[in-house]
Amino acid sequence: MNQLAKMARRSNRASSRSSREMTKYSRHVAVFRLTFCLLLLSTVAEAGLYTTSDQIVAISLDNYKSVLVNSSSAIVVEFYASWCGHCIAFSPVYKRLARDIKEWKPAVDLAAIDCADENNRKVCSNFSITGYPTLKFFHAFGRKDSTGQRIKGVLHDVQALRHEIIDLMEKQDPWPPACPPLEPTSQAEIDIFLETNNVRHLALIFENVSSYIGREVILDLLQFENIAVRRVLSTEDDLVTKLGVTEFPSCYLYYPGGNYTRLKVNIEARTFYLYALQGLPGVVRSGKSAPATRDNTSKSIEEVWRPHNRSRVYMADLESTLHYSLRVELAAHPVFTGEALTSLRNYISVLAKYFPGRPILMNLLKSLSLWLDNQTGDQVSYQAFSEILENSVQVPDAALPEGVRWVSCQGSQPHLRRYPCGMWTLFHLLTIQAKKFGGSDPKEVLNAMTGYISNFFGCRPCAEHFENMAKESLTEAKTFTDSILWLWSRHNRVNNRIAGALSEDPKFPKIQWPPPDLCADCHTVKDNGEHKWNTQQVLLFLQKYYSAEGILTDYLEDESEVLAKQKLKHASLLQTEAQKRIEREALEKANAPNIAAQKEEEEVADEDEEAGKALEPDGDRRQMIRRPSIVGMKPREVREDIVDLDSVVNRHFKAKAAQVATSSRVKRRTLQRNREERDSRLGAVLIDPNVASDERDLSDDGGLARRARWMSMLSIGFSKVDVSLCVILYFMSSTCLLAMYIFFKTRLRLRRAKVSLP
């Protein structure tokens, strides 16, 4: 017997161990598979010298035909080997080129292929590539056997490459349909053009024959509507004298009827023309012009537009960002552990240190930061975090205003701008603040930002791109100034990459920021006429634009209002909590006799075998489910049938309880089935305990609760009756005794009196 039991136990243990090991094993397999997939993915994405963020088409054995053959745009391909030093040195130039001519994509696109990849070797040898890097130009609608034209020349200069590409573009025979004419124009052609085309602005760039600016601007604006750009050579005497052009290059806006004005720019150069022309009224990216038709229903819900100064930062945007970040975005994470917890700590810490918020908000951020620092465990739940965030301990004068009021981050449509715009604004501001007040770590803010973005930022592709940028170059930032400029330049890189994307607000086009009308001194040109940022001026501008003192406080909710709202919320929370506590206590009281009844119920159930079997397996669970049904019900008046003074009441009660038990069991069983059906129908919706208990109160399970209460009332009432009965009996018997005593006493005295009578 003993042996057997031991064996059983052992085998039991073994099997449980093996099952544990099985789950462990399968978990390992899953983890392995996951890491393998991730590895694969990352090697795919990072094998070559370029990533998806670089806007360079990755060519491989699988796609080279579809990319190169019969393409509607011209294509420049870099053949490289990832191990070759020259290729590595050239890759930043190629990336810069890709960013520089990003707007030309419909006419000419950039691609690259890693010939060091075994799979691609055949492709590279087909194109007779022998040395790396090699650049080749494939014109539009190329044939299958086309091997492309080799681009010679300097491979370290973006401008030279750009010019080379333009030269090749001009020689194409099937002209890419998306590419506007690049050749110089004349007076006669312009007159015909204006007659036949209905274009709002015609920009004429007057330049020398060797200049590329005209053609560059033509290509730069090829994706924009309501504007056409043509180049006019300085030798085109008719037009030059008609407009009185003396400076080359220069740009004129030419209108029907021979009206013209000179385009005002700080410097006569490509970038300045671009900023100015893109800013003309009606000039929008193709396909973005039509303002989305909104039906009336959504219009009525829409917020009113908040007028604001476009060259200022608004506290309302920053508070809205914090509201969304802390109450919505973070709430998606029930628990923070490991890296996420560290990121949360760093984020809150830089906010508490550098955010130039109103006193109430700063108090709150500080209490949050302090609380997080005091959490010594390796995990923090959002629930606990949220309690501090909502100031449930009622730190005086601390609150985060609720809701969003976008001002300078308003979008022309509800899905545009807003939170991501606020996020950028917040972190630019923090880098500036850190320079003013920061400690020893110049990257403190950027590390906090990277941590937040990669762990919590809802837009996952954005987070990935941002992480890539941080990995690539964040180490470059060695001082506070570096950090400010790093974030500025990376933000511009994002602006460049997503210009024209669906997320772009047509009313707020993505430009390289700040534009000359915000900061003229920020822009300058190199000797070769290429645009150059004056980073010294950019820094000064950023420090002014994002200075804490310059933040406007329009549209903010009043501090006292915010605090009052919080108090109100807190009070109502306390009230519901108190209510819950009372209900819980009532429940516990009601539950004690309920358990007693349950026992008897079970005894009876034993007799009723079938019912007993049905009951047994989930008895506990049912009791748990049943419990809340009493919650929220006020005790009803004592019912007459319980005022039964006879001691027989005990037996009567037992019989009744048994009756109740069996009848309620039947009820419960059907109810259980109903509930199970309902649960499966509603899925997870029913997890809300309030909803569940409400439903149960509505159902006939209430009858059972009534019985339970009935029993409890009975026991209380019984003891009361007992006591009073005792008192009455005691009182009655003593009066009786007293009466008897008096009676006999008087009788005795009377008799004695009679006897004593002479």
Ligand X SMILES: *[C@@H]1O[C@H](CO)[C@@H](O)[C@H](O)[C@H]1NC(C)=O
* Length reported for the chain: 758
Note whether 494 and 457 are within 8 A (CB). Answer: no
- Residue number, 525 or 552, with CB nearest to ligand X: 552
Among 492, 598, 629, 672, binds ligand FAD (CB under 6 A): 492
Residues 26 and 36: beta-carbon distance below 8 Å: no
466 touches, from ligand X, ligand FAD, none (C-beta below 5 to 8 Å by class): ligand FAD
The contact pattern for ligand FAD, residues 389-418, with x = CB under 6 A and - = no contact, is --------------------x-------x-
- Residue 562 pairs in a beta bridge with none
| 550 versus 689: smaller Cβ distance to ligand X | 550
Q: Which does 80 bind (CB under 5 to 8 A by kind): ligand X, ligand FAD, none?
A: none
Binding to ligand X (CB under 6 A): which residues in 122-141? 141
112-141: which residues touch ligand FAD (CB under 6 A)?
none
From the list ligand X, ligand FAD, none, pick the one residue 309 interacts with, judged by a Cβ distance below 5 to 8 Å according to partner type: ligand X
Query: Per rule CB under 6 A, is residue 309 in the interface with ligand X?
Result: yes
User: Exposed e or buried b for every residue in 638-676, given b needs 16+ CB within 10 A?
Assistant: eeeebebeeeebeeebeebbbebbbebbeebeebbeebe
Residue choice 55, 71, 468, 495 for contact with ligand FAD (CB under 6 A)? 495
Q: Tell me if 65 contacts ligand X by CB under 6 A.
A: no
Does 543 participate in binding ligand FAD (rule CB under 6 A)?
no
Q: Is 491 near ligand FAD (CB under 6 A)?
A: yes
The entry of ligand FAD, ligand X, none that residue 469 binds, CB within 5 to 8 Å by partner kind: none
Minimum distance, C-beta of residue 410 to ligand X, in the bound complex (Å): 16
Q: Does 488 bind ligand FAD (CB under 6 A)?
A: yes
**Inter-axis angle of helices 338-354 and 444-456, nearest 10:** 130
Contact between 462 and ligand FAD by CB under 6 A: the answer reads yes
DSSP label of 18: H
652 in helix, strand or coil?
A: helix
Beta strands in 408-518 (DSSP E): none
Q: Quick one: which segment of 16-24, 169-177, 489-497, 744-752 binds ligand FAD (CB under 6 A)? A: 489-497
Tell me the catalytic residues: 84, 87
Minimum CB distance to ligand X, residue 519 (Å): 11
Task: Say whether residue 498 binds ligand FAD (CB under 6 A).
Answer: yes
613 binds, among ligand FAD, ligand X, none (CB under 5 to 8 A by kind): none
Asked if 424 touches ligand FAD (CB under 6 A), the answer is: yes
Residue type, 754: K
423 lies in the site for ligand FAD, by CB under 6 A: yes
Q: Does 465 bind ligand FAD (CB under 6 A)?
A: yes
Q: Which stretch binds ligand X (CB under 6 A): 182-190, 252-260, 304-312, 427-435?
A: 304-312
Here the tokens at position 580 are 């819950």
Nearer to ligand X, 359 or 550 (CB): 550
CB-nearer residue toward ligand X: 517 or 677: 517
Is the CB of 396 or the CB of 461 nearer to ligand FAD? 461
Rounded to whole angstroms, what are the CA distances from 476 to 210, 428, 446, 511, 753? Answer: 38, 17, 12, 24, 130
Report how far apart, in Å, the C-alpha atoms of 533 and of each of 29, 103, 485, 504 are.
Answer: 52, 20, 11, 24
Handedness of CA 69, 71, 75, 78 (dihedral sign): negative
- Identify the burial level of 18 via C-beta atoms within 10 angstroms of its C-beta, where 0-12 means exposed, 13-18 middle and 19 or more buried: exposed
Give 204's strand partners. Answer: 230, 252
- Of the candidate spans 389-397, 458-466, 567-575, 665-673, the one that interacts with ligand FAD by CB under 6 A turns out to be 458-466
Question: Measured at CB, which residue is nearest to ligand X?
Answer: 309
Quick note: the x/- pattern for ligand X over 264-303, rule CB under 6 A, is ----------------------------------------
Please tell me whether the peptide bond between 249 and the residue prior to it is cis, using omega within 30 degrees of 0. Answer: yes
Q: Counting contacts by CB under 6 A, is residue 312 touching ligand X?
A: yes
Residue 542 or 657: the one with the smaller Cβ distance to ligand FAD is 542
146 binds ligand X (CB under 6 A): no
Considering only residues 593 to 652 of the shown chain, the ones binding ligand X according to CB under 6 A are none
Q: Which of 18, 19, 311, 479 binds ligand X (CB under 6 A)?
A: 311
Residue whose CB is less far from ligand X, 70 or 126: 70
> With respect to ligand X, which residue has the nearer C-beta, 143 or 171?
143
* Residues whose CB is less than 8 angstroms from the CB of residue 142 and which lie 6 or more positions away in sequence, other chains included: 68, 69, 70, 71, 148
CA-CA-CA-CA dihedral for 508, 514, 517, 520, to nearest 10:
-170
**Residue 581 carries which side chain, given as an amino acid letter?**
R
Is 62 exposed, middle or buried, given 0-12, 13-18 or 19+ CB atoms closer than 10 A?
exposed
Rounded Cα gap, residues 106 and 104, in angstroms: 6
Binder of residue 494, out of ligand X, ligand FAD, none (CB less than 5 to 8 A by kind):
ligand FAD
Residue 72 interacts with ligand X (CB under 6 A): yes or no: yes
How many residues touch ligand X under the rule CB under 6 A: the total is 6
Q: How far is the CB of 350 from ligand FAD (least distance, A)?
A: 15
Q: Which one of residues 70, 337, 379, 715 is an interface residue with ligand X (CB under 6 A)?
A: 70
Applying CB under 6 A, the span of 194-202, 288-296, 375-383, 501-509 interacting with ligand FAD comes to 501-509
Q: Show the tokens assigned to 393.
A: 């301990």
Which amino acid appears at position 222 of this protein? L
What is the rounded distance in angstroms from the CA atom of residue 58 to the CA atom of residue 50? Answer: 8
Contact 706, 638 (CB under 8 A): no
If binding is defined by CB under 6 A, does position 453 make contact with ligand FAD?
Answer: yes
Q: How far apart are CA 296 and CA 267, in angstroms?
A: 46
The 3-state secondary structure of 74-103, one letter per residue: EEEEEEECCCCHHHHHHHHHHHHHHHHCHH
- In 329-477, DSSP assigns E strands to 335-337, 379-381
Q: Which two tokens stand for residue 703?
A: 């009858």
* Cβ closest to ligand X, residue 282 vs residue 550: 550
CA gyration radius, the chain: 42
Q: How far apart are CA 420 and CA 410, in angstroms?
A: 11
Residue 59 binds to ligand FAD (criterion: CB under 6 A): no
Determine the Cα–Cα distance for residues 495 and 515; give it in Å rounded to an integer: 13
Please report how many Cα atoms fall inside a 13 Å half-sphere around the Cα of residue 359, on the Cβ side. Answer: 7
Of the pair 420, 717, the CB lying nearest ligand FAD is at 420
Stretch that binds ligand FAD, among 88-96, 173-181, 490-498, 694-702 (CB under 6 A): 490-498
Residues that bind ligand FAD (CB under 6 A): 409, 417, 420-421, 423-425, 428, 453, 459, 461-462, 465-466, 488, 491-492, 494-495, 498, 501, 503, 505, 508, 513
Residues that bind ligand X (CB under 6 A): 70, 72, 141, 309, 311-312
